[in-house]
Chains A and B, each alone.
Chain A
Amino acid sequence: MKISEIRDLLDAQVLCCEDRLDREVYSACGCDLMSDVLAFVKDQAVLMTGLVNPQVIRTAVMMDMVCIVFVRSKTPSEEMLSLARDNGIVIMRSDRRLYEACGIMYSNGLGK
C-alpha cells in the first residue's frame, strides 16, 4: 500500500515529507509503547501512535520506518518534524482513534 492511500483512508493531514507519499508500506504497527515497537521488525512499516515526543521519531528512525501517523489529532512539535524531515519519514495526523486507524488499515489489506 502506498503512503498516499494511508492518507486517504485515514483522512489524514500530511505534516512533512509530502514528496515521499508514493513510497510503499508493507506492514503496520499501532502502539504507544516504544519498547514494544522496538521488538517488532518489519521492512518499510508505518507506525500509528497517540504518543507525542521526540522518542517516537527516533524509534521510527531505528526501525527504518517510512511513515508515522499521529492519531486523535495529536500534533508533533517543530523539533519532531525537523527530526523526521532529516530522516525522510512522512508524518501525518488523523482524527481517528488508534483502534479505528488500525482497523481501517487492516481491513484494507495492510499487514494481512
Chain B
Amino acid sequence: MSEELVFHFDVDGEDFTSAGQASVQIKKDLRQLGISPEIIRRVSIAMYEGEINMVIHANGGTVDVKVCEDCIEMILADRGPGIKSIEQAMQEGFSTASDNTRSLGFGAGMGLPNMKRYTDSLEIESTVGVGTTVKMKVNLQ
C-alpha cells in the first residue's frame, strides 16, 4: 500500500442501541483490504471499546481509522467531560459508568484496559471539561 487510506465515522451519542455500528463497518472494510483476521479482530475490538466509551461518557464523537504501510492507526476524539485520572481509568474494574450502563453489559471498568490489551500503542490526551482524544496503533507485522 503506497498511500494512506482513511475511514471516517461520526459516532452518535444519543442512542446506545446503535453504539458499535462503526466498529462493525470497519471490520467489513478491513476484510475487503485483505488484512489478516487476527489484526482485524484486534483493531475492531479496541475501536469497539472506544466507541462504546464515547457513547457512554461523551455523547458521541468521531473516529478516524488510517491504514498505513506498517500499521493501522485509530484516532477517537470527543468533546465529553474528559478523564480526571487516566492512571485510575486504566485500572481493570475502575469505572464511573452509571448503573443503567452496567445493566446494558458495559461499564465494568474493562474498556481502556481492553484497548491497551489489543493494541501495540495507546495514547490518551484528556482535559477535564474539554474532551478526550485516544490514539491507538496496531502493527501490521
Contacts and interface: CB of A to CB of B under 8 A. Distances in A.
Contact of B20 (A33, A58, A64, A87): A58
Contact of A63 (B20, B41, B106, B108): B41
Contacts of A36: 108, 110
Given A62-B27, A62-B45, A63-B41, A53 B104 contact: yes
Interface residues of A, number: 22
Given A53-B17, A54-B17, A61-B27, A38 B37 contact: no
B117 interface: yes
Q: Is the interface of A mostly helix, strand, loop or mixed?
A: helix
- Chain B, interface residues (CB within 8 Å), range: 20 to 34
A33 B105 contact: yes
Contacts, number: 73
Contact of A62 (B48, B108, B111): B48
B81 to A, nearest CB: 20
Contact of B111 (A35, A53, A79, A87): A35
18 contacts: A35-B49, A35-B105, A35-B106, A35-B111, A36-B108, A38-B49, A39-B114, A53-B17, A54-B18, A55-B52, A55-B106, A59-B48, A62-B41, A62-B45, A62-B48, A79-B17, A83-B24, A87-B24
Interface of A: 32-36, 38-39, 41, 51, 53-56, 58-59, 61-64, 79, 83, 87
